[in-house]
Amino acid sequence: MDPYQRKIITALVIATFLAAIEVTVISTAMPVITRDLGGLDLISWVFAIYLLTYAVMTPIFGKLADLYGRKKIFITGATLFLIGSALCGLSQSMEQLIMFRALQGIGAGALMPMTFTIVGDVFTYEKRAKAQAIIGSIWGIAGIFGPLVGGFFVDFLTWHWIFYINIPFGLVAMYLIGKNLEEKIEKRKRSIDFGGAFTFIIGTGALLYALLSGGNEIAWNDQSMVYLFSTAIVFLVAFVIIQLKVKEPMIPFRLFRNRYLLVANLCGLLLGSILIGLTAYLPLWVQGVLELAATSSGLTLIPMSLGWPLGAYLSGQFIVRLGTKPISLTGVSLIAGGTFALTFITNTTPNFTLIIIMFFVGLGFGLSMTIFSVIVQSSVDWNNRGTAASTNAFLRTLGQTLGITVLGTVLNQHIGGQTNNGTNVAPDLLAEGLQSVFIILFILAIACVVVASFLPKQQPDGENEETNMSKQV
């Protein structure tokens, strides 16, 4: 890695760490925040609104990066994220915090896809996996240290600092990218797909809002749900029609003819569902079924945060020697094996067994997610890389939203509408519901193995995009 690449990767690591640690830090501080601001009934929207705006804006920023360059979009996203962070720290009510978290999410919608896109621009194919492994390891580090950092700020300073601390680091990342990132953008007239952007925001926003609110703030059989899903269908159909007609579509559907991208995107959707299912419901098993302390549930997930960066590192070491297909298949197979093992656990299964399972699941995620990111970066040329990376990121987020919706509905059917925080539900009844959740996760993992098996044996070649387009599924 030469000096230029080191400066760029340093900026990307900082940006990734800010976005990754944001969720775990605020989770630790939420009890204190609700005590100061009130609005306990709105607590879920502090997280949901960030996810919603992030998901909706990701493909839009990805396309803009292909039109106007990565540097401008990265700096724009970082600026929005930091302004949102500062305003979150100044919030005087829960409503204000939710509004400013939405602004943070918009900024993150530009930052995260740009990290993947810039890696594809700056590094050669042989080095992309290693660079991606460094960035991927940051998610594991954030998962471990986020709660500790959040606890430190709450105990020794104030909760406001969990937002303020983003500002100096974000400015450093902006400076490094602004000064060092080299881009040669073709000077030509740009055509922005305003119609596509508008219909996508309305349609996707309505869909995600319905999925995030269903069964919680809004009953599934409520009239509002009919309006939300109807709005989503109408605007998303309009979005598809617009994409087929405009000169510069926000999401060129011809990219889905690329077999590498199609496989990576479908696996991203499935893996997003599996990941949210594990992180949301395994702690519930530990606390509600095994009746252990919350600390034990956190310890159960830490091995996944350790296995993930190890898998990312190994993928970087062996991608050139073994190729993308064997490594990605190994990764998703480990995830399938781990979720299969979870279908057999009982209330007598020791927590140590879960820790072992989650380490290998994390190893599988590290192997597969890193490889799929490299595939996306390497399957298209510069002019489509931002769109491809952002679409993949959006589908992962959509997978998480769909996953938590479906799995939550399945669990609620078993526990009969009782609260599912592990305290008001009988352990046997909760175990029965969670077993169904684990079975669904295993089915999703098997589907991911099947999809990954369709990867071509050849390495992706983004410089020859037309060749990849001809590889039909």
Do 140 and 83 share a domain, yes or no?
Answer: yes
Out of 143, 171, 191, pick the residue that ends a domain: 191
First to last CA, the chain: 36
Out of 172, 191, 210, pick the residue that ends a domain: 191
Specify the DSSP class assigned to residue 381: -
Q: Which domain CATH number covers 88?
A: 1.20.1250.20
How far is 399 from 223, CA to CA, in rounded Å?
A: 25
Do 174 and 263 share a domain, yes or no?
Answer: no
pLDDT of residue 423: 45
pLDDT of residue 338: 94
Do 403 and 381 share a domain, yes or no?
Answer: yes
pLDDT of residue 295: 61
How far is 310 from 303, CA to CA, in rounded Å?
A: 11
Do 114 and 262 share a domain, yes or no?
Answer: no
Angle in degrees, CA 134, 24, 270, rounded to 5: 65
Tally of domains in the chain: 3
Do 107 and 235 share a domain, yes or no?
Answer: no
**Tens-of-pLDDT digits for all 473 residues of the chain?**
677 888 888 888 888 887 777 766 776 676 677 778 776 666 667 777 887 888 888 888 888 887 778 888 889 988 999 999 899 888 888 888 888 988 988 888 888 788 878 887 787 766 777 787 777 777 767 766 666 676 677 777 778 888 888 888 888 888 888 888 877 766 556 667 778 788 888 888 888 788 777 766 777 778 888 898 899 899 989 988 988 887 777 777 777 788 888 999 999 999 988 988 888 788 778 877 777 765 666 677 778 878 888 888 888 788 878 888 899 999 999 999 999 999 998 888 888 888 899 999 999 998 998 888 888 878 877 677 778 888 888 888 888 878 877 887 788 777 765 544 444 567 778 888 889 999 999 999 999 999 999 988 877 665 444 433 333 33
What would the DSSP string read from start to end of 233-253? Answer: HHHHHHHHHHHHHSSS-SS-G
Residue 423 phi, psi dihedral angles, 5° rounding = -110, -35
Range of the domain at 269: 252-473
Angle in degrees, CA 21, 23, 25, rounded to 5: 65
Do 267 and 234 share a domain, yes or no?
Answer: no
Do 96 and 179 share a domain, yes or no?
Answer: yes
Out of 191, 213, 238, pick the residue that ends a domain: 191
Do 175 and 122 share a domain, yes or no?
Answer: yes
Report pTM: 0.79
Do 220 and 291 share a domain, yes or no?
Answer: no
pLDDT of residue 465: 42
Is residue 242 within 8 A of residue 199, CB to CB? The reply is yes
Angle in degrees, CA 453, 458, 459, rounded to 5: 105
Distances (CA, A) of 380 to 28, 334, 383, 466: 40, 28, 8, 9
Give the burial string for 73-103 (b: 16+ CB within 10 Å, else e): bbbbbbebbbbbbbbbbebeebeebbebbbb
How far is 327 from 452, CA to CA, in rounded Å?
A: 10
Instruction: Reduce the DSSP state of residue 214 to 3 states and report it.
Output: strand
- Dihedral, CA atoms, 386, 389, 391, 392, nearest 10 degrees? 180
Do 282 and 164 share a domain, yes or no?
Answer: no
Is residue 415 within 8 A of residue 425, CB to CB? The reply is yes
Is residue 138 within 8 A of residue 318, CB to CB? The reply is no
Specify the DSSP class assigned to residue 285: I
Do 330 and 375 share a domain, yes or no?
Answer: yes
How far is 149 from 145, CA to CA, in rounded Å?
A: 6
* Torsion over CA: 345, 348, 353, 358 (sign): positive
Do 268 and 392 share a domain, yes or no?
Answer: yes
Tokens of 41: 């009934």
Specify the DSSP class assigned to residue 289: I
How far is 198 from 192, CA to CA, in rounded Å?
A: 11
